[in-house]
Structure 1
């Protein structure tokens, strides 16, 4: 276990069974939080992360909560209440998302609607329905993306969702500031996760090209992002709100 600085806190991490979300769930649990992590379909991945957290001395619960359809936030919080006995929440990490989209010429209306439903609409209503159960002094962290500031026309709709999420962050920070709740965005760059495995791992050229984008000269790890989220979730981050933290390793500067 870690410093126990989040002892007694409840944290919700959407998409907490894989990739960046898995690392965030582990780090918040190591800091003492009871973590409720969501998964869409892969119950085994959710179970495995819970077991790993418990083996490391932490507390975690996995709940199924697919996003992208009307009523998804309501169903998520109903599952949360059932799993926790109606516990209030202190930390919300909106991490779940669709990671890519088509370029403008290939984009369909259905594809556009899907990526916005998961990446934008779901976080909006997850937070809306959390407001009565979110403790004063709480934390909201939205996982954005470096493509919100770096032009990548080949995934234009995805980038647009992350720009919308950053705007949501800014407005929420103003709305919730009176309650001592901080709201921030974290923008990862290229991270070595299962989502990126098909084009990144095992492709030396793609790996080297991705590493070269970063001022630090390497591809990011999920833990690089998780540690930033942990800072924002802790009392150390109490005076940071409405901010977008670049977690790209200085990519495309």
Structure 2
């Protein structure tokens, strides 16, 4: 088995920064043709790396349709979907509004559903792989994460259903559950997202938090033939945090 992705076409959402950017670059480096999408125009910086790019809001049906269409029209097929795009919210349950709930669920849960649906349609005759980026809060509870945890739990269960429903069509679906990863996800919530996240390092058996490349390597493995007998799996990558 190999992690060579030559002749494979991949679609990566939320690719402008963090885990998504690292994943898009890693898949490209391993030979895949990549379509990278994001809400931010900065995703177009990836075009310099031989990656096709597109902007759009993953919560909107049209974005999913356009993204999959770009992959199939430019490269003739879609082999890999990485549902990475998402947003977080840190609020006590009683302080959350309906808009808070709906906004996070629209991006994380609905966006993943829409892209998965369109990707499966494209993969029905050829097979393929879906890798979803969930979170350890899909398995364990943390304070002030009600809607984020619910949305990631939805992604974890969707992953399992797709694996069972379409395994006989050659479609695999797995999810990676990152713990604390040093990214910009808390921008606008904390004064310094990266420093805040990095400060959790001592709470991990490995003595550090994750880096985007740590997760990108797992995504690339799950997207490759090397994981051919894995489907419906939830792969925890948290530096040992949930082992404590």
TM-score using structure 1 length:
0.87
Q: Aligned match of 1:249 in 221, 239, 243?
A: 239
Correspondent of 1:186 among 153, 176, 181: 176
Instruction: Report the aligned-residue RMSD.
Output: 2.0
Alpha-carbon distance, 1:71 to partner: 4.0
What's the offset of the Cα at 1:148? Answer: 1.4
Q: Deviations over 1:178-209 (max 9, x none)?
A: 12221001011111112246444345xx634x
Alignment of 1:130 onto 2:137: no
Which of 101, 106, 128 aligns to 2:95? It is 106
Q: TM-score, normalised by structure 2?
A: 0.90
Question: In the alignment, does 2:35 pair up with 1:36?
Answer: yes
The alignment covers a number of residue pairs equal to: 238
Distance 1:200 1:213, change over 3 A: farther
> Who is 1:162 aligned against?
152
Structure 2 counterpart SS, 1:6: coil
Asked if the contact 2:132–2:155 (Cα under 8 Å) also holds between the matched residues in 1, the reply is: yes
Secondary structure of 1:201 counterpart: helix
The 2-side partners of 1:71 and 1:48 are apart by 23
Q: Paired residue for 2:65?
A: 74
SS class of match (1:105) = helix
Aligned to 1:238: 228
Deviation of 1:228 after TM superposition, in Å, equals: 0.4
Find the partner of 1:201 among 194, 206, 214: 194
Question: Gapped runs of 5+ residues in structure 1?
Answer: none
Counterpart for residue 6 of structure 1: 5
Runs of 4+ in 1 over 3 A off after TM superposition: 69-72, 75-81, 196-203
8 Å CA contact 1:63, 1:80 repeated in 2: no
Note if contact 2:7-2:33 (Cα within 8 Å) is conserved in structure 1.
Answer: yes
Alpha carbons 2:9, 2:78 under 8 Å: kept? yes
